[in-house]
Amino acid sequence: MPRLSTALPLLAALTAPLPALSDGLDPSDWDSVLEQAQGQTVYWHAWGGSTATNDFIAWIGEQAAKQGVTLEHVKLSDTADAVTRVLNEKQAGRDDDSAVDMIWINGPNFAAMKEADLLFGPFAEQLPNWQYVDTEGKTVQSDFTVPTEGYESPWAMAQVVYMYDTADMEPQPSAEAILKWAQANPGRFTYPQPPDFLGSTFLKQTLIELTDNSDVLSGSADEADYAAVTAPLWEYLDALTPVLWRSGSAYPATGPAQLQLMADNEIDLAISFSPGEASTAIANNQLRDTVRTFVLENGTLGNASYVAIPYNSGSKAGAMVVANTLLSPEAQARAQDPAILGYGTVLSMDKLSPEERETFDALELGIATLTPAELGSAQPEPHPSWMSRVTEDWTRRYGAGQ
């Protein structure tokens, strides 16, 4: 899933409202959208750290081309780079023809762009394929507690799982159990270095697990007793860090780098935000076939990946065509196929035709993929401010130059 950094504080300085819809675009008039999209090039700024993800985006580009739209994947290591670019364009008065036409986004980056009026919309719920979206069973209309209000369109569901090698260990039921296992097996666990999104997710997941009152996390960190709420997390990490891979002196930079450590048998346990990632890696001969996944007894974090369109994109119609293509049953089934991506779908099976449901039913989820029943209910994401503050504190306590 997306490797997104924390939001940019500079965005808070932008307060002048911008018109949401422009260029004569009416997302509900799809024929007009398709007409205006003809010949447009959409620069989709999206995480580029996975070959499987890049191949899927290339396939989406092929589908968009059939509708008269050229898709260019601008590969990111940090979503904040795209946010910064739009911010700089606004400050320079470049209110049209942005270098960024669409962003793979969620969490703090979306919250910051939405508050600063840097997004085009609302458009998502007027897309033709929105009719298939599961708005009741999945969290697709709020993003880290922030209402999306049609300013971003969901395209993949994610939930935290832990990948482990059954040849070396058993599933662990809790964060405390993981700590005890790590202490008994020093050097065999690590997580990506925050602010990498997956590393920050590990911090949030552990905070939720350890706090006495997880409800406080749904509100702003600035309005809570931050020190008291996070104290158990820092106590936990003080105990865990010395027994991590390389004694916590270094961390894998990304999720794929962490996966490579498992492939090289340097670690036995790794965090993932994609329940199908292990099965996909096994199918691609990246991981041994003894790898499986588990979730914690109290559940694990879940969220959606979205795409959003900057207010100053010069290819808004084309971007909506791409967003709609991502929501098509064909694209969603392809993304869920563990041989392709193994991402969870945002669609409701009850809203699909029998033929479309059969495509999903025929998917072999893979030997390491938990069933929906085994995954259980996903825990909600905390307010974006928790991710920002916890990541900053982690860097100060455990990051480079500690």
* pLDDT above 80 (res 85): yes
Identify the pLDDT of residue 167: 95
Q: Residue 8 — very low, low, confident or very high, per pLDDT cuts 50/70/90?
A: very low
- Calculate mean pLDDT across residues 309-337: 97
9-156+304-365 and 161-300+380-398 agree in CATH topology? yes
Output the DSSP codes for 145-197: TEE-TTSSEEEEEEE-EEEEETTT-----SHHHHHHHHHHSTTSB--PPTTSH
Identify the pLDDT of residue 92: 95
Q: Residue 21 — very low, low, confident or very high, per pLDDT cuts 50/70/90?
A: low
Give the residue, 368 or 212, on which the prediction is more confident. 368
Which among 400, 399, 401 has a CA at the least distance from the CA of 200?
399
- Calculate mean pLDDT across residues 122-135: 97
Identify the pLDDT of residue 22: 52
Q: How many CB atoms lie within 10 A of CB 285?
A: 9
Token pair 């090698």 is found at 165
Domain boundaries, the chain: 9-156+304-365, 161-300+380-398
Q: What is the pTM of this model?
A: 0.80
Contact 320, 251 (CB under 8 A): no
User: pLDDT digit string (tens) for 60-80?
Assistant: 999 999 999 999 999 998 898
User: pLDDT digit string (tens) for 156-172?
Assistant: 999 999 999 999 999 99
- Calculate mean pLDDT across residues 198-218: 93
Percentage, residues of the chain above pLDDT 90: 78
Q: Residue 23 — very low, low, confident or very high, per pLDDT cuts 50/70/90?
A: low
* pLDDT above 50 (res 286): yes
Identify the pLDDT of residue 400: 59
Q: Distance from CA of residue 303 to its chain's centroid? A: 7
* pLDDT above 80 (res 279): yes
Give the residue, 372 or 358, on which the prediction is more confident. 358
What is the assigned CATH class of domain 161-300+380-398? alpha beta
Which among 138, 147, 123, 156 has a CA at the least distance from the CA of 21?
123
Q: Distance from CA of residue 71 to its chain's centroid? A: 21
| Architecture of the 9-156+304-365 domain | 3-Layer(aba) Sandwich (3.40)
- Calculate mean pLDDT across residues 346-375: 91
